[in-house]
Amino acid sequence: MSFATLKKNSNSSFEKLTRELEKVASTEKSTGDDRLWKPELDKSGNGYAVIRFLPPPEGEELPWAKVFSHAFQGPGGWYIENSLTTIGKSDPVGDLNRKLWNSGRDSDKEIARKQKRKLSYFSNIYVVRDSLHPENEGRVFLFKYGKKIYDKIVAAMQPEFEDEKPINPFDFWTGADFKLKIRKLDGFWNYDKSEFAPQGTLGDFSDSELEEVYSKTHSLVEFTADSNFKTYEELDKRLGTVLAAKKTVVDMETVEAEEELVPVASAPVREEVKPKPSTDDESDTLSFFANLAEND
């Protein structure tokens, strides 16, 4: 293209570039799994939402899926994978960590700690209140959470004191809304103030309205389906690459990340969002780490 032509077409070129940017933005946004709901912090650094845990989907027994995963960086990049221990099988990282721990060396134990598996739960929820994103209210989503919130559920079902009545948080009629309260302490998300509201029917809905909500729940068994896990050999090969190759290491002190790992059988699952740290050691998400891994 000559300089004269370049000058003549400058306006149209800019418009074309703008359209391409819009396409890219649209594509990037669509890479997230729109089934997943995530809380966010407001300008004050706190987060608040009201959700309702829903019963198991039709044909399934449990209202949650329990998944172990690993997310750590070695000289060869990031290792971000579901752990085979989720489905009761041996996992190469678990086997390696066991050897490291049993070596008796403190340095090996520290490596094993950094490579430990992380625990996440997935449940269906109904969003009662989401002030930052009111368009989510009245909709059914999948919600990923960790041990801290899971312990709140267990405490509601199995209270410690005799004056506390056990409840089933996943019941439409006798369950309770969950007030999710997030504070940022020392740079990490803290869920300690989260609590269940008094018992009651979800939204005071009629049975027909509740049935409609129920029809929108997502399968949970897919999270632990064999198809969602690589073979031992595939994982071992990836682990060898991560631990053996030489690449530039990211300064982890500058990385704020929330890990997210969802079934590979689903629609695109990793969402490019501003990462958020969490105090829940067993429930960090993998989206930021996944992006790094894909760029290795």
The pLDDT of residue 262 is above 80: no
Identify the domain containing residue 134 by its residue range: 31-294
CA distance 136 to 143: 13
Q: Is 6 contained in some domain?
A: no
pTM: 0.73
> What does the pLDDT look like over 3-40, one tens digit per residue?
566 556 766 656 665 555 554 444 334 346 889 999 99
- The reply to whether 191 falls in a domain is yes
pLDDT by residue (tens digit) across 202-258?
999 999 999 999 999 999 999 999 999 999 999 999 999 999 854 444 444 433 443
Q: Is residue 13 part of a domain?
A: no
Q: What letter represents residue 20's amino acid?
A: E
Position 70 in a domain:
yes
Note whether residue 73 is domain-resident: yes
User: How far is Cα 164 from Cα 293, in angstroms, rounded to an integer?
Assistant: 47
Domain total of the chain: 1
For the domain that residue 77 is a member of, what is the CATH number? 3.90.198.10
Per the domain annotation, does 7 fall within a domain?
no
Q: What region does 219 belong to: left with phi over 0, alpha with psi -120 to 50, or beta?
A: beta
Taking Cα atoms as reference points, which of 84, 38, 92, 60 lies closest to residue 222? 60
Of 143, 146, 176, 144, the residue nearest 159 (C-alpha): 176
11 belongs to a structural domain: no
Q: Is 21 a domain residue? A: no
What is the structure's pLDDT at 4? 65
